[in-house]
Chain A
Amino acid sequence: MAHQHHITPLSIYLTIAATLLFLSGVTVWVSYVDLGAMNIVIAMLIATTKATLVVLFFMHLLWDDKKLLTIFVMSLMFLGIFITITLLDTEFRGGVNPEVKDSINKRAAFYDSLPLTDTHGNPVDEHGSSHHEEDEDHH
């Protein structure tokens, strides 16, 4: 052969797989501990650690030409742009038009037979304003 491929040592594969299985257990365990908003942050940190191990060792990017790592990182950058710009719309709709701040409330067909409720389960009338708010109007 004109060139020799890098052969990853067996011990690395086994160590990485063991670490991935261990971290899977940790993420399940941590999910039962109530940390409020930190739960999702920790879950994503563990997932990203696992993903990094898979990409660098199983997918061999640690030893490959760095142009391949660049391609992969670019895909994540574009995903980041996709998420950020979409959230800039959906998260701040209420700032420009207060009347659209409430969630879009498309509902499944089975709801037709039920009284309408808002996202918190409070009953609403057909015009979309909740009885809760109407009560405040009467006071």
Chain B
Amino acid sequence: MSHDNSSPSFLQHHFHDVKQQYETAKLGMWAFILTEVLTFGGLFVAYVVYRSWYPEMFINANLLLDVNKGLLNTVVLITSSLTMALAIWAIQKKNKNLSLVMLILTFILAFMFLGIKYLEYSHKFEVGQLPGEYYSYMGPEIAHINNPHIFFSIYFMMTGLHGLHVAIGMGLIGWLIYATAKGNLHSEYYTPMEMIGIFWHLVDLIWIYLFPLFYLIG
């Protein structure tokens, strides 16, 4: 340990000072965000290519999605982004209780998002609007449309990977609630909350594109 006794307990020994530790965390987080953009990017490319090949199929298959549930999830996710940002704002202002309330609200909103997604998914499983070879829905809207299973392959891959991110985010926010309540995070050191906040806003960011691309075609 090269630090003297006056260095704070949250400063890890391999960092020179608090500022360096903070900036390193932030640089690492944004490098991770870059890889996340490229991970989803592959799926966005699949979307663009298949939509350019089958424009009519996308417009018709899109009618099978529930715009109201999509819009509701948009509102839920934007609100959760706000509560996440306010949790950080509150802890910066040394208001631990408000920060906890905001984190719990974010957690509940994330759970709501997954609940609404579950309703959508379970309906699609019921009627057979499934990816690839598992697709079996032959309703009147789709009878004359070729390749609706491709739309649902892309839909389930993109919203599924996004949903996985929401679930992981919920776990991380749950840990933040624990760490804040215990007092490990406070106005002097809240880097994990800020980093998980960036992750959570990315989840919001991706949904901002998924919503119009799947629910609002045509």
A interface residues (Cβ-Cβ under 8 A, vs B): 1-3, 5, 7-8, 10, 13-14, 16-17, 20-21, 24, 27-28, 31, 39-40, 43-44, 46-47, 50-51, 54-55, 58-60, 64-65, 67-68, 71-72, 74-76, 78-79, 82-83, 86-87, 90-91, 103-110, 117-121
Q: Which residues of B, 36-83, contact A by the 8 Å Cβ criterion?
A: 37-38, 41-42, 44-45, 48-49, 52-54, 56-57, 67, 71, 74-75, 78-79, 81-82
B93 within 8 A of A: yes
Picked from B45, B135, B211, the residue with its CB within 8 Å of the CB of A83 is: B45
* Main SS class of interface, A: helix
How far, in Å, is B102 (CB) from chain A's closest CB? 11
State whether A110 and B135 are in contact (beta carbons under 8 Å apart), knowing that A17-B79, A24-B74, A75-B34 are contacts in the complex.
yes
How far, in Å, is B70 (CB) from chain A's closest CB? 9
B125 within 8 A of A: no
Asked if B212 and A121 make an inter-chain contact with CB atoms under 8 angstroms apart, the answer reads no
A120 to B57, CA, bound (A): 9
A50 to B41, CA, bound (A): 18
A106 to B22, CA, bound (A): 50
* Main SS class of interface, B: helix
A67 to B23, CA, bound (A): 11
Chain B residues near A39 (CB, 8 Å)? 217-218
